[in-house]
Amino acid sequence: MDANIDSHLIDDKPHDECGVVGVFKKESKAAQIAAFALYALQHRGQESAGIASSDGESLYIQTGMGLVSNVFTPESLSGLLGEMAVGHTRYSTTGSSRLINAQPFWVTGANGDLALAHNGNLINAVELRDNLENNWDTSFSSSTDSEVLAYTLANAPGKNWEERMSHCMRNLKGAFSVVVQTKDALLAFKDPLGIRPLCLGKLDEGWMVASESAAIDLVGGEFIRELKAGETVIIDDHGVHSFIWPGRDDREALCVFELIYFSRPDSILAGSRIYLQRRSMGARLAREYPVEADLVIGIPDSATAAAMGYSEESGIPYSDGLIRNRYVGRTFIEPDQKTREADVKIKFNTLPEMIKGKRLVVVDDSIVRATTTPLVIDMLRRAGAKEIHMRVCAPPIRWPCHFGVDMATRKELVAANHSEESICELIGADSLGYLSIKGLLEVNADKGEGFCHACFSGDYPIPIQLELDKMTLEDRKPRGGHF
């Protein structure tokens, strides 16, 4: 079995593809700044990490498997020269978890050398790759859509980046928040629907871009703003220049799961702090699914803010009931029942003194396959909980994502194949309530953003070929070689 699939059955959460960062700062070691920023984005991907830098004459690159701390040391960073750098931390949604698929990608084309880091998913990657192989004699070294994107940009026609980006915006289909480094400029751009996040920050005598504002905070920068849908920002010796692709329409489709789960609670997205948005979702959930109970607890750490919002709105006291071991990362073990139970016990432990004899409201951010939720509920019952009322701060997930989130196929999604009543019975709860799509969108209606909620509604913002396989490009061997 594929290790990623195994771990999903145990760690039953959606997984984002990656985090990206770009740094342009004179008289600095930009790679070191990028490395620190990647620590703030580690939650977005733990499979591999990489940084490419430029000193104005040459590009330098280092990638490796594992966490940022495993890949980079002071010695290795010293070889990444220059005042400009782009960095990436990866979770795979297209292509397997192997070193050849680690980013950034360094490619050469008609527009020279560039290094690219990508968050998202291209739904027309096969078509684009066929064109590059047949018309540009391009040879690919990986099985990712990100390398396809890199070569598309490296060979895009046009006399300047505005014309080249116009070509890319017309031809790239799907989700892409991207940072690109040439020898003398840093580029950052978002797809015309703005599906994945990307923001701009100011450093002393420099600039940076990152998937989340928390990365800017970590290195002492000042958050300036989020990039707009279809916008390109160019940073070079002349400062910051930006433009929006004129061919985009007025639609926006920011991934609403960024608000529910992916982004850090201390990041700013859709104009406000994620933590406050999650508290508001929890409060709305309390209005939609009230219940008589003694205590509200959250599944740590992603549901803590929502649980506090539920408590505040309902008047039911909040307490810790589960303690999370924060030093346990993703586990890669076979997904049989005993090892799933062991994995849950490694990650969580109960506080019996707080929950014994209590009627609990247990708030979680999502239920995907319902493989771990029953184990958590059983753990709480063993600790003495009298009743367990499960409340989920996301609507039922009934459709797969094709825009940079790896959650499950439709046949694996429990809400696509079971009623809420049967899910309640399956997980062993006394009652179950999901936040409605209407409630989710109304809570965030003042953010001035349109949202992609296709995983709940099946209403995809871009027509897609259903059940795209993340290994599609893995099966297409390069001409004359092997991945």
pLDDT tens readout for residues 205-230: 899 999 999 999 999 999 999 999 99
The kind and range of the H/E element at 112 are strand 112-122
What is the pLDDT confidence band of residue 261, given thresholds at 50, 70 and 90? very high
Residue 427's Cα: distance from chain center in Å?
27
Q: Are strands 15-16 and 322-324 parallel, antiparallel or unpaired?
A: unpaired
Q: Please, which residues bridge with residue 392 across strands?
A: 364, 434
Which of the residue ranges 121-130, 236-245, 252-261, 332-341 would you say has the lowest mean pLDDT? Answer: 332-341
Angle, CA of 27, 29 and 31, to the nearest 5°: 145
Say if CB 181 and CB 85 are below 8 A apart. yes
pLDDT at 5 over 60: no
The domain 278-444: what is its CATH number?
3.40.50.2020
pTM: 0.90
Q: Please, which residues bridge with residue 210 across strands?
A: 21, 199
pLDDT at 11 over 70: no
Mean pLDDT of the chain: 90
Tokens of 153: 């940009």
What is the pLDDT confidence band of residue 476, given thresholds at 50, 70 and 90? low
Q: Which residues are catalytic?
A: 18
Res 408: pLDDT: 78
What distance in Å separates the CA atoms of residue 11 and residue 407, rounded to the nearest whole number? Answer: 11
Res 480: pLDDT: 43
The kind and range of the H/E element at 119 are strand 112-122
Instruction: Give the mean pLDDT of 411-417.
Output: 96
Res 120: pLDDT: 93
CA separation (Å) from 427 to 81, 350, 367, 422, 430? 53, 18, 10, 9, 9
Tokens of 383: 């600790």
Instruction: Give the mean pLDDT of 455-468.
Output: 82
pLDDT at 6 over 80: no
- Calculate what percentage of the chain has a pLDDT beyond 70: 89
Res 215: pLDDT: 98
What does residue 167 show for φ and ψ, rounded to 5 degrees? -60, -45
CA separation (Å) from 329 to 10, 258, 347? 12, 20, 9
The domain segmentation of the chain, as residue ranges, is 3-253, 278-444
pLDDT at 2 over 50: no
Its CATH architecture, for the domain 3-253, is: 4-Layer Sandwich (3.60)
pLDDT digits (tens, 9 = 90+) for 327-377: 765 544 444 555 656 778 788 999 999 999 999 999 999 999 999 999 999
Q: How many CA atoms lie within 13 A of 365 on its CB side?
A: 23
